[in-house]
Amino acid sequence: MIDPPARRGPGPRPPVRTTGRQVVVFADRDDVRVDWSAAGVTDVADSRDFPAERVPAQTLREAGATVFARLGIAVVAAGPDQVGALRAAAPPVLSVSPELVHRVLPEDLTGYVRGYRDGVADLAGRVLGAGGGDGAAAPPLFQDTAAATWGVQAVRATTSPWTGSGIRVAVLDTGLDLAHPDFAGRAVTAESFVPGEAAQDGHGHGTHCVGTACGPQSPPTGPRYGVASGAEVFVGKVLGDEGSGDDGGILAGIDWAVANGCAVISMSLGADVAEAHPPYSAAGRRALQQGSLIVAAAGNNADRENGELGFVGAPANSVEILAVGALDPALTVAWFSARSLSAPGGEVDVAAPGVDVLSTWPMPDRYHTISGTSMATPHVAGVAALWAEATGRRGYELWATLTQAAQRLTEPSVDVGSGLVLAPQEGAGGG
Partner 1 sequence: MSLPLTPVSVTVDDGHLAQVETVAQALRDSGMQVERVLGSLGVITGRAPAGARPSLLAVEGVTSVDEQLRFSLPPPDAPVQ
Residues that bind partner 1 (CB under 8 A): 174, 203-205, 208, 239, 243-248, 250-252, 254-255, 258-259, 268-271, 273, 277-279, 282-283, 286-287, 290, 300, 314, 336, 370-372, 374-375
Cβ(352)–Cβ(324) under 8 Å? yes
Task: Indicate if 356 belongs to the active site.
Answer: no
The least CB distance from residue 278 to partner 1, in Å, is 4
Task: Indicate if 203 belongs to the active site.
Answer: no
The least CB distance from residue 318 to partner 1, in Å, is 12
Q: Which is nearer to partner 1, 238 or 384 (CB)?
A: 238
The least CB distance from residue 117 to partner 1, in Å, is 36
Residues 6+ apart with CB under 8 A from 135: 125, 126, 128, 129
| Active-site residue, from 374, 379, 415, 418 | 374
Helix axis angle for 278-289 and 395-405, nearest 10°, is: 100
The least CB distance from residue 267 to partner 1, in Å, is 9
Q: Which is nearer to partner 1, 205 or 224 (CB)?
A: 205
Report the relative pairing of strands 322-327 and 350-353 from DSSP bridges.
Answer: parallel
CA–CA distance, 143 with 263 (Å, rounded to integer): 30
| Active-site residue, from 144, 173, 182, 415 | 173
CA–CA distance, 422 with 2 (Å, rounded to integer): 14
| Active-site residue, from 180, 205, 208, 379 | 205
Phi, psi of 49 (to 5 degrees): -90, 0
Q: Which is nearer to partner 1, 118 or 246 (CB)?
A: 246
Cβ(369)–Cβ(357) under 8 Å? yes
Query: Cα(first)–Cα(last) distance of the chain, in Å?
Result: 27
CA 428 to chain centre: 14
Characterise 361 by phi-psi region: left (phi > 0), alpha (psi -120 to 50), beta (else): beta
The least CB distance from residue 184 to partner 1, in Å, is 23
Q: Which of 163, 257, 241, 136 is nearest to 199 (CA)?
A: 241
C-alpha count within 13 angstroms, C-beta hemisphere, residue 107: 1
Cβ(99)–Cβ(18) under 8 Å? yes
DSSP string, 318-341: STTSEEEEEE-TTSPBPTTPPPPP
Q: Which is nearer to partner 1, 72 or 211 (CB)?
A: 211
Q: Which is nearer to partner 1, 174 or 200 (CB)?
A: 174
Task: Indicate if 418 belongs to the active site.
Answer: no
Q: Which is nearer to partner 1, 374 or 418 (CB)?
A: 374
Q: Which is nearer to partner 1, 235 or 390 (CB)?
A: 235
The least CB distance from residue 167 to partner 1, in Å, is 18
Looking only at Cα atoms, what is the longest distance across the chain?
A: 79
Cβ(82)–Cβ(88) under 8 Å? no
The least CB distance from residue 17 to partner 1, in Å, is 52
Q: Which is nearer to partner 1, 14 or 195 (CB)?
A: 195
Sheet holding 18-26, edge to edge: 44-46, 65-68, 73-76, 18-26, 93-100
CA angle 269, 270, 276 (to 5 degrees): 135
The least CB distance from residue 398 to partner 1, in Å, is 18
Cβ(375)–Cβ(353) under 8 Å? yes
Strand partners, 26: 93
DSSP 3-state assignment of 229?
coil
Q: Which residues are catalytic?
A: 173, 205, 374
